[in-house]
Amino acid sequence: MALLEVTGLTKNFGGLAANQDITLSVEDGTIVGLIGPNGAGKTTLFNTIAGLYAPDAGRVVFAGADITGWPPERVCRAGIGRTFQITKSFRQMTVLENVMVGAFLHTFSPRQARQAALAAIEKTGLLSRKDMLAGNLTVADRKRLEVARALATRPRMLMLDEAMAGLNPKERQEAVELILFLAREGTTILLVEHVMEVVMPISHRLVVLDYGKQIAEGKPEAIARDERVIKAYLGERYRAPG
């Protein structure tokens, strides 16, 4: 059984069906990309899994537990860490303090939280900025901070919402390296992404949404050749290498 199993998930906002009957699974230890054009319902699906919205129908099962409709804090404790598309740093707290908040999930001791936080900060390459106020960080560093903070809760699966948006090519490359590093360490990753060139090479599987519906699922190479995906999203010019 896969680590995350989403079956028949539906979420409506008034008359708008943001997600219709989505079914996907994320195997333990893989990187799964969730892609689709603007307004396809990626972030809605993401937020429904993370507990920000309760679905209208369908089930979310994580590590064998039915977490459908659980509030975000319980989803986090079940082992799902997440970042936000528009970063939500604790601006008046330092980088270290931000990450310590995550680390306090597993301990009462500030000293232990500090150590765990420092480890997460080191992994994400923020060590030199650990005493800066989060509000003073660059966009790229704030995205790293989101990852570090989520990592400190020791998630089995990490959900990254548009981790590459607003980054320049060099920062993007560094972010990709970070994701690959975390995956090698055994963290399962579900990422919502816009930048195709980034998702294609690193994902084991891709799920494509369009207008709230799932139009394809499979290996990146297959997705890149899929007629419907090309029409809906990639445009005629995009051709998969090979």
Partner 1 sequence: MADTTLTEGAAGAPARKPFPLAGVAVPLLALALLAYPFVFRLPFQHNLMILVFLYASLGQAWNILGGYAGQSSLGHAAFFGVGAYASSLLLVKFGIVPWVGMLAGGLVAVALSLLIGYPSFRLKGHYFVIATIVLAEIIYILFTNWPFAGGAEGLFLPLLPEGVVNFEFHSSKIPYYYIIFAILAVVTTVVFFVERSKLGFYFRAIREDPDAARSLGIDITRYKLIAMALSAFFTGVCGTFYAQFVLFIEPNNSLNFMLSVLIMLIPVFGGSGTLWGPILGAFILIPLSEFTRVYLSGAGRAIDLTLYGLLIMLVAIFEPRGLWAVVTRFRSRETLKWRFWKSQV
For position 50 contacting partner 1 by CB under 8 A, the verdict is yes
Q: Does 44 bind partner 1 (CB under 8 A)?
A: no
Which alpha helices (DSSP H) does 79-138 contain, by range?
A: 95-103, 110-123
Task: List the one residue from 2, 17, 57, 101 that touches partner 1 (CB under 8 A).
Answer: 101
Q: Select 102 or 212, whichever has its Cβ closest to partner 1.
A: 102
3-state secondary structure of 95: helix
The DSSP symbol for 94 reads B
Q: What is the distance between the alpha carbons of residues 156 and 224, in angstroms, rounded to a whole number?
A: 29
Which residue in 5, 27, 56, 97 binds partner 1 (CB under 8 A)? 97
Member of 66, 88, 231, 238 binding partner 1 (CB under 8 A) = 88
Neighbours of 25 (CB within 10 A): 17
Q: Which of 2, 17, 105, 180 binds partner 1 (CB under 8 A)?
A: 105
Which of positions 163-192 make contact with partner 1 (CB under 8 A)?
none
Binding letters toward partner 1, positions 107-146, x by CB under 8 A: xx-x--x-----------------xxx--x----------
Residues 6+ apart with CB under 8 A from 46: 34, 82, 159, 161, 190, 192
Alpha-carbon distances of 55 from 12, 52, 126, 177, rounded to whole Å: 8, 10, 36, 33
Q: Which stretch binds partner 1 (CB under 8 A): 72-80, 173-181, 185-193, 196-204?
A: 72-80
Can you tell me the distance from the alpha carbon of 213 to that of 195, in angstroms, rounded to the nearest whole number? 20
Tokens encoding 178:
């970070």
What is the spatial distance between Cα 51 and Cα 116, in angstroms, rounded to a whole number? 25
| Shortest Cβ 161–partner 1 spacing (Å) | 11
Residue 77 contacts partner 1 per CB under 8 A: yes
Binding site residues, partner 1, CB under 8 A: 50, 52, 71-73, 76-77, 81-82, 84, 88-94, 97, 100-102, 104-105, 107-108, 110, 113, 131-133, 136, 149-150, 152-153
